[in-house]
Amino acid sequence: MYIECLYLMLMLISFCRLFNDLHYSYIPTIQDKQMLHNKTLGYVQFVSNNDRLVGGIHGTWDDHDYGGNDRGYELNNKEERRDAYLNFLDVPKDSQRYNRKGMYSSIKFGQDDNIVKVIFLDTRWHREKHCIPSVGSHPSIPMGALVACLTRLITAGLDLPSILPSWTSCTKRKDVLGEEQWRWLEDQVNESKASVHIVVSSIQVLTTNPVVESWGHFPSEKERLLKTLNNVNGLVILSGDVHHAEISSAKRSHGDNKQSMEASNHGAFVEVTSSGLTHSCDEPFYGPLCKPILEAFPTNRLEGSNVEGPDLPSYYTSRNFGSVEIDWKLQSYKISVHNTSGQIILSTGIKMDTTANMSVSDIDAIPNCIDGHLVPVFKDVVSFYIAGFLIFCVWYLFLQSDDDKFEGASTNRQPNKKTKEA
């Protein structure tokens, strides 16, 4: 038996920019009305497909839904933004979610022993600034999003939190969820009897790519998240934000394609990223950089998840959406990423009776994007320029010395010349 309606979960994580790049103080009204009533946008038809959307529409927000690129706790009018988003999702007015500091929530599907629990996290409301604060939303900085990518690359590549431990913005302990949400999450997983647990994070968790926003830029919070989700039955993490699709694992799989597709969570965390429905990283003018950047940071990627061949990369850079298919008889489920034609591009399987069973040392050893990989290059460059500077100094001093000798010789010869003339 398949619960096909769960394809919605990954599609929502694709973040189709429902409120389309809002300004800092603007509360969405026009955009959400357009989405709900303009039939040419496609969302009206989507929500009217009642035979597939069993249980309604559920989701969380990311930066552009929240109100600004790369924004976190510093954004104003968060309560009004929350209410507008909940209204858009048609959440009943008497729901306690209108009183929460954040968009986090959970929902259960099924009954008896066949229960699926979906947990939506809010990674924006309480999230502190990056080590180098993002300028992605600054109106006076051209191509601020690209500058923000560069600053994240520098932070991770030079391991600035270690180099600048006293700088407030680069401390290792920075908040993402907030203590209220952390306690809620711990209760959600500790008290759950579900066979399938789908945890939705708007930003990626396991990626080692430092260019994008991710939990990797908040190492202590990432470690806490994974320790909280450790030993949870049938767990998968869903994420979005990055404008490409990807399947990741805390432990790289070197098995064949069949094993990766049927069950990839043998003691490891698995994450499926689907993003986005309306944007992809290969479409802008900088699109040619998308694949090289992904190829440069493959450590997190689950090998063998590309359905066209086990040796092909487990990422996809064009527009995409995701689906979740559950088979209760086999006690497993499959998460897939589809292209715009509906064809499956990436796929992996999760066994319900298998957990991410990792020791504390294993979790601590999971690669982070803040790894100092640019330090050797930086040292080489600095050494090169220092060596060049020293060579220049020696050459300059030698040249000066020769000039002094030449001037001295000229001075010694000048009186002799005058004597001869006399």
Which of the pair, 5 or 281, is modelled with greater confidence? 281
The stretch 34-40 carries a mean pLDDT of: 81
State how far the Cα of 347 lies from the Cα of 342, in Å rounded to an integer.
13
Q: What is the DSSP code (8-state) at residue 133? A: -
Q: Evaluate if residue 1 carries a pLDDT over 70.
A: no
Structure-token match 């600048």, residue found: 164
pLDDT reported for residue 178: 94
Mean per-residue pLDDT of the chain? 82
pLDDT at 152 over 80: yes
pLDDT at 343: 96
Provide CB contacts within 8 A for 249, sequence distance 6+: 206, 264, 268, 269, 270, 271, 300, 301, 302
The crossing angle, in degrees rounded to 10, of helices 144-157 and 375-421 is 90
pTM: 0.83
Tokens of 270: 């698995």
Instruction: Measure CA of the first residue to CA of the last residue in the chain; give whole Å.
Output: 120
Q: Is the pLDDT of residue 286 over 90?
A: no
Q: Is the pLDDT of residue 256 over 50?
A: no
Among the ranges given (45-49, 89-93, 240-244, 347-351), the one the predictor scored with the smallest mean pLDDT: 45-49
pLDDT the model gives residue 415: 52
pLDDT digits (tens, 9 = 90+) for 110-120: 888 899 999 99
pLDDT of residue 253: 47
Residues 138-160, mean pLDDT to the nearest whole number: 85
Average pLDDT over residues 91-119: 92
What is the mean predicted confidence (pLDDT) over 308-336? 93
For the stretch 381-420, pLDDT in tens is 666 667 667 777 766 666 665 555 555 555 555 555 444 4
Res 30: pLDDT: 72
Residue environment code for 255-290, b if the CB has 16+ CB neighbours within 10 A, otherwise e: eebeebbbbbbbebbbbbbbbbbbbbbbeeeeeeeb
DSSP structure class, residue 202: S
SS3 (DSSP) at 335: strand
**Greatest alpha-carbon span in the chain:** 123
Please enumerate in sequence order all residues whose Cβ is within 8 A of that of 63, keeping only pairs 6 or more positions apart, or say none.
Answer: 69, 70, 71, 124, 202, 213, 241
